[in-house]
Structure 1
Amino acid sequence: MVYKGMISNGPTKSIYAIKRLNFMSNQGAPEFWVEVKLLSRLRHCNLVHLIGYCNGGKEMALVYEYMHNGSLFDHLHKKGTILTWPQRLKICIGAAHGLDYLHTGTGTQHKVIHRDMKSSNILLDQNYAANIADLGFAKVGPTNQTHTHVSTTVKGTFGYMDPNYF
């Protein structure tokens, strides 16, 4: 569940998105910690910014910069928004820059593979700039190798993943 929240500091008001894990579910804690660890280390204009998190007993929540225009999925399938070709191109290029940052080592010795890239995980700010979100399924690996000893189970959304990967 994602909530819109506002924090007032005198005359200044900041809006945030709060993603709350369902404490009744046995799933989500590993993905929560992957996202906290990755977004705490990564900074790029095309990645959603993690502001903070809460790990209070059964309550686990992530606090993000608020994306005023929702997800690309919403604009393509729900809202009936007509995105112009320049807007679509800007969104595609922004998402590509974010993926390039993740895949090429992010200025560190590691690359990040998102593993759940889809239109609902591309969030749009007030200027329709693309921000990649939901890194909970991401996998970290060394940048200097094309094949590694790291094995993993398949994760992601069926229909959005490479059939060879699946």
Structure 2
Amino acid sequence: MPQHGLGHKECLVCDFVSILYSFGGEFFDENQNPVFNNEAIQAVQAMVDMVYKYKIVNPSSLMWTEPEVYQAMLNGDIAYSAMWGLPLVDLNNEEISNVVGECDLSLFPSVDGLHPYLVQDSMGWAVSYGTNYPEEACIYNSFQQRKAHLMQH
């Protein structure tokens, strides 16, 4: 049975973001004002329906976080999962995986079939307290975090 990490942790938020965007939803409008639109409501309902109506997500996932999902995937106990990083490295490692050669990666499908999504974390950028170049580091961080750069990467 498929699994999401729906425990009340970061994984729940990440799965919701992917599902929200697959429904065409947004967190912010063009002026960066928060919105909670109909697509967001549909995304939440889809997450509930995956567990209780369609039964394609095991109810135990309501308590799981990434490590439990990851292990279930390695064991071959679930059909799919939303995973971070480089999951194929471990999934194809014969020493720890029961599903070597049986897995692949894909984007989250969209409801309209035209706009698949993924959640990409831009990670945290900071300036070291001890740097000799604090101004340059701030400029570089601003460059790396600009919207146009994040949309490309």
Q: TM-score, normalised by structure 1?
A: 0.28
> Higher relative contact order at CA 8 Å, sep ≥6: structure 1 or structure 2?
2
Bigger strand fraction: 1
Give the greater-gyration-radius structure (CA).
2
